[in-house]
Structure formats: C-alpha cells, structure tokens
Amino acid sequence: MAVSPARRLREELARKPSPPADKLLLAEAAMRLVRDGDHVAVGGTLYSRTPMLLLFELLRQGRAGLTISRPLSCYEAELFLVGGLADGIVTSWVGIGLPWGISRVVRELVEGGRATYEEWSHLALGLRYKAGAMGVPFLPTFTMLGSDLTGLVDTHEMTCPFTGETVLLVPALNPDVALVHVHRADRFGNAQIDGYTHMDADMVAAARTVIVSTEEVVDAERITKCADATVIPHFQVDAVVEAPMGAFPHECYGRYEADFAHFDDYVAAVRRDGLAAVSAYLDRNVHRQPDFAAFLASFGRSRLEGQQARAAELMGR
Amino acid sequence: MAVSPARRLREELARKPSPPADKLLLAEAAMRLVRDGDHVAVGGTLYSRTPMLLLFELLRQGRAGLTISRPLSCYEAELFLVGGLADGIVTSWVGIGLPWGISRVVRELVEGGRATYEEWSHLALGLRYKAGAMGVPFLPTFTMLGSDLTGLVDTHEMTCPFTGETVLLVPALNPDVALVHVHRADRFGNAQIDGYTHMDADMVAAARTVIVSTEEVVDAERITKCADATVIPHFQVDAVVEAPMGAFPHECYGRYEADFAHFDDYVAAVRRDGLAAVSAYLDRNVHRQPDFAAFLASFGRSRLEGQQARAAELMGR
Amino acid sequence: MTVSASRLLADHRVVFAGVGVPLLASVLAKQQHAPDLTIVLEGGIIGPRMLAGKLPISTNEMRAARHASMLTAITDVFLLAQRGFLDYGFLGAAQIDMHGNINTSFIGSVERPRVRLPGTGGANDIASLCNEVLVVTAHEPRRFVERVDFVTSPGHLDGGDARQKAGLVSRGPSTVVTDLALLDFDPDSRRMRLCALQPGVTVQDVRAQTGFELLAHPEVYQLEPPAISDLEILRELEAGAAVWD
Amino acid sequence: MTVSASRLLADHRVVFAGVGVPLLASVLAKQQHAPDLTIVLEGGIIGPRMLAGKLPISTNEMRAARHASMLTAITDVFLLAQRGFLDYGFLGAAQIDMHGNINTSFIGSVERPRVRLPGTGGANDIASLCNEVLVVTAHEPRRFVERVDFVTSPGHLDGGDARQKAGLVSRGPSTVVTDLALLDFDPDSRRMRLCALQPGVTVQDVRAQTGFELLAHPEVYQLEPPAISDLEILRELEAGAAVWD
C-alpha cells in the first residue's frame, strides 16, 4: 500500500471519537469492520499469539482482495490465500518451522503468479510498523543495505547529513486494520500482554482500525493495578472481543502451548492433497463449525487442558 | 557533542565484553567511570527518579567540563553548574515546578554567559536518545518545525522521499555516561522500573558507559520471575550501585514522595543568597557528609518514613 | 479562565494536559460535561484520576499517575501526539503574539537575553503535534506582543498558510483563553481576534491589555459566568494542593 | 558441525541464536567453555535457559523464553543488534557464494522463481547488524555456488571493500562451518578460503562439494573431533525435542 502522508492519517484519527466506552463486541460484529481490499496486519508472530478466533471469523465471513502483513507468517497466511480472501502477503518469512519444511502452498501460489509475496527483512517490517506508530512517514536503518531485497520494495538510500553515512529509509506501514490477541483487556480496550510482545503495540498504534481479542475481559481496576503492564491504550482500540484460548492452536505465552500435532496433520494433508487440503481444512474447521468455541471443542477438553498444563509447567507453576 | 558514526559507536561496544558478571560496586568506585569532559545523561525527569546518590557522589569527587543532559532538569543541574563540574546543560526545561518559580541560578549563569543551555523540545530530546538507542544517526519528526529552536541547534530539514512532506531530522545523542536509578536490579545489571519509565531505557541503550543505582539488589530469580518488566538488559550496564532511597529528596514511584519542603528551603535560600546558597547547600549536604546515607540520616527517620507512607497511601496500600 | 477553558473540551476526546490550569480545566470538564474525556500527561501517564486536595505539582510524579490505565515512557506519550491521538493540547505563554506564536525561552535577544526563561519543555511539541491547541494565559500587554522575541512554540507563524508551509502537520492554536476574554484566529490572515468577553469585561478593557492591534469577530459575545458547581468542584480539587500535606 | 560452531563462541559475549544448530551450539558453548555467554533470541527473548529435551522449535515460543531475564518486542531485539550489542549472529544458507552472500529467497529468477524459499526472516538483519556472522550449513555443490541467484543476506557482496561501500556497518561473515570444513574469507579479496578440515575429511573432499574455486589458507589444519562430553550434552539437549511430548 502507498505511504500515507501524516496529515491524512491524522485527519482520519481526528474524525473518530475516542471515549473509554464499552467496545465489547461479538467476533461476528467486530470483524464487519474489515472491508474488501483492506491491508490487514495480523498480531503475534509465527505460531505465537495469533488472533486465531478473529481470523477464523473473517475466513467464515469471507472477503476479497485483502493483503495480509505479519512479521513471520504461519499457516494462517495459507488459509487466507487459498480461501480466496487475500491475494498478497507482506512478511519476512512464511512457513511453520523447521520440522514442517517449506510451505508448499505458498510455493505453488507465488511461483505460479497467483499470489504476491512482498518480502522485507524482519527488522525492516518492524520499523515500518514502528514508523506508522510514531506518526512519521519513514525510519532510517542500516539493515537491508547492499542486499537484493531493496530492489523489490519501496525504499530509499540517503546520506546522513550528520555523519555522512549511508542509511536506508523504510516507509511507514499504517495498516487499514490490525488484529491482535492479548492476555487481558478491559471493555474500553486498555490491553496488557504477558511475556514477549512481538510487534503488536506498534502495529496497533499504526493501524487505522484495531480489533483486540483477549483471553480475559477484566475490570478496569485490574488494569490500573498494574498500569505499567498496559501496552495498548483504549483510544487506539475500536473493538474488544472476548476470546478464551483465542490463539489456539497457536500458543499464548503462559496460558497454553501450540498444538504441534495439529500442525503435523495439516502439513501431512497438504503434502498428500496440495491446495485441496487447505480447502478441506477450512471446510472442516471454519465453515462447518458454527463458531470458534465449536472448533475448540472439536479438540476435546483433555487435549486443550493438556496444552494449558504444558504451559504451566514451562512457567514453573 | 558531535554525532558519532554508527561504526565508531559499534566498535566501542565491541571492545567491551558483556558478561552477566557481578557488577556491584560502591558509589565511590562506580563514579570513577565518569571522566572530565564527559557528556553525562541523567535519568528520571524533574524531581522523579533522579539518581541522586550517584550525582551526590560525583559532586563529592568533583570533575571538570561535564555536560549534563536531562529531559526536564531540576535543581541538580544547578548543583553541577555552581559546583564547577559542568559548564553546560542540554535539556528542554529547567526549574523545579510552578510554585518555585524560574531558576534564578540558571538565569544568572546563562544570562551572564558563564554556562550554556542547549534547548531542545521534550520530544526532540527524547528522539535524540532514542536514535542513539536504535543505533541510527538521526530520527525524523514533525516537531520543532517552523520554530526558532531549530536555528540554535544541529538539525536538518528534508523532504520525505515517500510522501513529499517536510520532516525535521534530529541527531542521535549517545552520552558518554548514563546514570539512572531503578526500583530493582540483579547484580549483573538486569533492571526493572515500576510505573512511568521516563526516558531511561533509551538513555541507557544509547550511552557508552552505564551506571545503575537501585532501590534493591535482588536475586536473578526475582528478575526472571517477571522478565517482561525488565527494561535494561545486563549487557548494557557497567556498574550496579545499591541505593535505598537513592533518588531522595526526589521521588521514586511507589516508594517515596519528593520532599517538597526541602525544595522550599533550597529555593528560599537561593532567593536570599543567590549562588552562594547553592555552594552552601553543596557544602552542607555533599561535602560535609561522609556519604549519601549520612545525608539521608540528616532528614531524620520519621521524615523519611513519612515520605514513604505518602507514597504507599497514593498507591492505595 | 479555568472554567472557560474547561468548556472548550468536548466529551469523548483526549486532552494532553499540563499541571495547573490545564489539569484543573480537564478534571472539571470530566466532572461537568465530558465524563469520557481522557487525560494524558507528559510523564508517560494515560487516563489518571486525580485525588481532590492532592493535585500534582508536576506531570512526572505519583500524584499525577493515580489510577492511570497506562504508564509508559515520556517519549511514547509525545509520539502518541505525533501520530494524532491527542485531540487537545494546552499551552501557557510568557509572550504570545498576534499570530499565536509563543515564547517561553528568551526575553530580549538570544545572544544576550534579558531573561533566560525555563525553556520549551513539551510546549513546542504540543504546539506542533496536538490536533488542536488551547492557550491559557493572563491577559497583559507585556505578554500580548506584536511579535514574540523568540518562537518557542509555533502558532500560525507569519499568518496565512505559513504554518502549513513550514511543514507542521497540525492546525495549531484555535483559541486563547484569558482572564479577560476568549480569542480565536481569523481564518484567512490567522491574526488573533476577539471572540467573547469574560463577565464584566469590555472590548476596551481587552484592547488596553493587548500589545497589538486586535481584530474582532463580527459578533463578540459574553461568556457565561462560572456555575456555582464549577467553583465548588475547583475549590475541592485545589484544597490543600499548595500545602505539602 | 554443531560442536565446531560452538567452539567459535567466546565467553563474555552475546550471541543472537536461531533455533536448530545455532541454539544447540550456543547452549553447548555455555556448558563447555563459555558459561557467561548470553543468548538472545529474535522473539524478544534475552538470557533464556533451555530445558534439556524441550528445546524450542521457533524462537517465538514459551520454550525459548524459559528463565529469560528480559522479554520484550521483536523489533527491540533487532535494534539491539543495530546498536551493536549482539556479538555473534548465526545464519544458515540455501545458497552461499564465494563472497559469503546468502540466498534464502528465490532459486532461479525473481520473476519466475523455480523455488520460492521461505524468505529472509531475521537473516538479512543478522547479516547486516551482528558484529560477527557465523554461517552453518551442509556442504553441498548446489549450496556452495559461485554467485547466489539472489542476495537475501549480504556477505562481502562483490568482495574487497564492497560491503563497507554499500554502507553496511558490521564486518559480515567471518566463518563458515560445514560438515566438511571450517572456512573463512581472504582479508583482501574477501573470497572464501578453506581454513580447517573436519576429522577424516580431505581438501579434495571439500573442493568436490564446493561449486566454485575455493582458496585455501596457507596452513590448513585439522579440527579437533567432538569430545565425549560434547556429544553427551548434545544428546541430552536434543532428547525428545522432535517429539511433541
């Protein structure tokens, strides 16, 4: 997407009131905020704190022409491409992890020219969200210099007027929508994340519309009690969705581990059936389930509890 | 100070090993790391979390030709100027607060050409530390544009190559030394701050040498238990100084309130005796006290406990 | 003055307040007509609730942070302003000129200042980055000067579209609230003009206290006096604030 | 290969490790000769201690964060590298050329790639920003190519001072560790050269598996074989790691 001038971004914000009002919505209503053609930034990274409940709802509703950006993309990117909602991804890496090999789906779509993959270095993408969050149209960096990556994307080299050094300018990324999953939020949208925060805070501050799903909706008092743990202030948030285990089968730090066996099954099916396996996955887990709770229930309670127990064990609880 | 090229800053860092070794020092030894002519960045802001124990020790030892930078400068700046240690300050504001009026000391010294006051906007100074922390020689901003402030300091305007907007580039500030006071740190230097963090984390990451004073030296386990509250990693720290009430008579969030009556006495004396009152203050509180503990003891236990009780009350404890 | 300022603050918005009149006006607005106004303070503090009688003396202290929903770094708060999240910013003024430029740095020349003022603090940033800037100051000829000695905080610079041409991304000062009047800026020339009078004040009173030729709005009106409830709330808020209780 | 890599890590330094061989090598180094080596992982994780048998599969998960002294944002970790705090960075390679440039993006042309690889992830940043870069990869002719199809992660580019001229602020790859050998770069031409051989490997073996003319250090030596304790530690670390226990 083209870089927006600061004045335009600010005018958009100024048009929106930002009260600490009750923003609690059901996923179905919240996801209506996403429009065809939007650039949707997806919080978390790889298989950590992915806003899976929100993504599944969006996949259920269907959209066209979306672009999906994410620091490291996991198989949710494949669902959006094969599901026909998105025709491009902006990321630094796509796959699940070493044991699962290269993404056959992305290979097939990108090599065949049916989807675009705009590649930025991990830091460069982080700086793009950060520039967007800081309200400036670019940030300078020493990464990506000299590589062939810069030839494929919109960057500029300049000479630093203070030191004479060569720096690369990467453009701000202000997504139309940011979707993030957090540990706790009050109904106004003040949100806290435990552990590593990925790029969520910058993504949210940069975005034009923000939907937060949360493991727990808590009283405002719970937030003010440890206000230094708040990473998203309410006036950056448009909707709050209650989503216990809302990142599953991905992990949520301290709450539950990722379900690696689920990934195994998915990858085995793709190896066997190609893109059709992705459609079948969508059919089984999204379209034929009335909601995310039903999808979770399909794992069975003991498996879900096992994932929570593993997290507790790792946290030394 | 001139903006340092990234390569030089990086080479300096690369020469220093960065083990998680025991860095616990007495203030006297730690402050020997500060050399004549250094640019010393002082953590906290105004009368909040000022590393007063470290500053008093430096004032006791004496130095020449220092430059002191700080987001908002309180009367510690006056101590350094009148004490003859510093001949310039880099800040956005100097004073104590509305009830105490304009700093007579800074007026006299700066108007008389005996000290320099390099003025940056609050954000611009914050961005200078942040650029230093990020390892880039500048950051872009929309602040300070059009004002007369830019004419007095080293900034550059440029046209954004992405949007055509005018942006101001402010240069990185990589202080020779950063002095910060935190709530808790382990002996390796992993440090945590409660409440607002001022600009301390950026200042520390930007600086060439870092001395941290801490209300409490804690076991490494105490840090790892809430690792998401750590704002300074050990490899950024050169010395750790144990300093209970080490920001007093300034405040430390959640621990003790600032001693406003102490400020009253100081300002009344300056109104009466001018610069001589500052020398007398130094004499009484620094030079004639064997150490900071003795300075604290001069307040009397009940007054110190009263300040702690006020903090506890504000925290709802 | 505080009451007039508070009435400029609309509900459901975010105000970047300093201590003193701005904070009082913001808290008053929340209690009177804007319960969902969010207060942001420069010390990294978002959404605090003040304790009556324990108002902070600076925006960087515990009293200012009470019951905040978020505590963060100073720079991050100003970056919220740069992104456009902060709707209102308040400024005071040692000097303000006919185009709303403010000086809090030097009286006299820069090289040999007659008075070295405390400096910008966050004032320049507020003037540059908050969506709308409200100036609150005592109305005196030595403050209301034709041209400030030094532009610490940019108003409309030389007037017209000078502000936009300088690259500034926000609209700048919309309103000046004083003990005598409420003033705004002519939409074309961006020169200050009289809008409304505080109770009991005449146009002549205002002109006499203004060091430059003041334009006037076609229809200058009278400001409503403070309500009793306004004064009660302010009295309660301030009680004991000046004493180090 | 893992053991050879671990021996390159000096104590009292900070290593930016990825999962797999880099993490194993780093943990091994800590247990053997570098107890005060600090591990940093791209998922915002500083100073973690791994649990034997529960090694992480990605650097962005709980297993990777165990007992960390600091947990923060991804971007912040890379900014530590940009500032110069991260001494060692590890890279793998789908393709690596005679100047240490690495490709993990496209095999074939960009427009019509034969293989669209997963992409840079943090590899380009590590190559650009860590003080010293160590490459660990299997030694095969299809990997060791004269010129990579695409420079994802800059090595010494066209050799000589090309890297510095491009504006890169760190020294780039110093060493390539493979299952056959240890290689470095000629100080002038910055071309890859054979330094040392893994036990039982000959110079001819290495040349046969290298798709370009390999220079050789004046004194090629034999690497020490892994100690029994090395293998014991690695076995314990990996036990169960591949099973979703």
Tens-place pLDDT, residues D154-177: 999 999 999 999 999 999 999 999
Residues 6 or more apart whose CB falls under 8 angstroms from that of B276 comprise none
In chain C, positions 197-216, which contact chain A (CB-CB < 8 Å)? none
D51: exposed, middle or buried (Cβ count in 10 Å: 0-12, 13-18, 19+) = middle
In chain D, positions 64-83, which contact chain A (CB-CB < 8 Å)? 65-66, 71-75, 78-79, 81-82
Q: Which of A137, A154, A162 sits opposite B137 (nearest CB)?
A: A162
pLDDT of residue A275: 97
Tens-place pLDDT, residues D5-38: 999 999 999 999 999 999 999 999 999 999 999 9
Choose, out of B9, B16, B134, the residue to mutate when testing the contact with D (most D CBs < 10 Å).
Answer: B134
Q: Is B300 left (phi over 0), alpha (psi -120 to 50) or beta?
A: left
D146 is catalytic: no
pLDDT of residue B267: 98
3-state secondary structure string across chain D: CHHHHHCCCCCCCEEECCCCHHHHHHHHHHHHCCCCCEEEECCCEECCCCCCCCCCCCCCCHHHHCCCCEECEHHHHHHHHHHCCCCEEEECCCEECCCCCEECCEEECCCCEEEECCCCCCHHHHHHHCCEEEEECCCCCCCEECCCCCCCECCCCCCCCHHHHCCCCCCCEEEEECCCEEEEECCCCCCEEEEEECCCCCHHHHHHCCECCCEEEEEEEECCCCCHHHHHHHHHHHCCCCCCC
The C-alpha torsion from C29 through C34 and C37 to C39, rounded to 10°, is 10
Sheet containing A156-159: order of strands:
A138-141, A166-171, A156-159
Put simply, whether B145 touches A (Cβ < 8 Å) is: no
Cβ contacts below 8 Å, chain A against chain C, sum to 88
Put simply, whether C195 touches A (Cβ < 8 Å) is: no
Q: What is d(CA D75, CA D80) in angstroms, rounded to the nearest whole number?
A: 9
Q: Which of C11, C71, C80 sits opposite A227 (nearest CB)?
A: C71
Q: Which residue of B has its CA nearest to A194?
A: B228
Q: Using CB atoms, which chains have 3+ pairs under 8 A with C?
A: A, B
pLDDT at residue C244 tops 80: no
Tens-place pLDDT, residues D85-144: 999 999 999 999 999 999 999 999 998 899 999 999 999 999 999 999 999 999 999 999
Provide the pairing of β-strand D173-177 with D132-136.
parallel
pLDDT of residue D244: 40
Q: What are the chain A neighbours of C80 within 8 Å (beta carbons)?
A: 205, 233
Residues 6 or more apart whose CB falls under 8 angstroms from that of C103 comprise C93, C94, C95, C96, C117, C148, C149, C150, C151, C152, C153
Put simply, whether D244 touches A (Cβ < 8 Å) is: yes
Tens-place pLDDT, residues A280-297: 999 999 999 999 999 999
Q: Using CB atoms, which chains have 3+ pairs under 8 A with B?
A: A, C, D
Tens-place pLDDT, residues B248-268: 999 999 999 999 999 999 999
User: What value does the CA radius of gyration of chain B take, rounded to a whole number of Å?
Assistant: 19
Q: A137, B138: Cβ pair inside 8 Å?
A: no
- Interface present between C and B (3 or more CB pairs within 8 Å): yes
Number of neighbouring beta carbons within 10 Å of residue B252: 30
- Interface present between B and D (3 or more CB pairs within 8 Å): yes
Q: D83, B133: Cβ pair inside 8 Å?
A: yes
Are the CB atoms for C116 and C71 separated by under 8 Å? no
To the question of pTM greater than 0.90 for the whole model, the response is yes
Put simply, whether B133 touches D (Cβ < 8 Å) is: yes
The per-residue b/e assignment along C22-33, b for 16 or more CB within 10 angstroms, e otherwise, is: bbbbbbbbbbbe
The active-site residue, picked from D42, D61, D111, D213, is D42
pLDDT of residue D240: 54
Are the CB atoms for B98 and B174 separated by under 8 Å? no
Tens-place pLDDT, residues B143-192: 999 999 999 999 999 999 999 999 999 999 999 999 999 999 999 999 99
Tens-place pLDDT, residues B202-241: 999 999 999 999 999 999 999 999 999 999 999 999 999 9
Q: Which of A111, A144, A146 sits opposite D116 (nearest CB)?
A: A111
* Mean pLDDT within D191-217: 97
3-state secondary structure of A80: helix
Cα–Cα separations (whole angstroms), residue A196 to A152, A210, A236? 31, 20, 20
Q: C131, A6: Cβ pair inside 8 Å?
A: no
Query: C78: part of which helix (H) or strand (E)?
Result: helix C74-83
Percent of chain D with pLDDT over 90: 92
Tens-place pLDDT, residues C103-117: 999 999 998 899 999
Q: Give the up-direction half-sphere exposure of residue D126: CA atoms within 13 A in the CB hemisphere.
A: 27
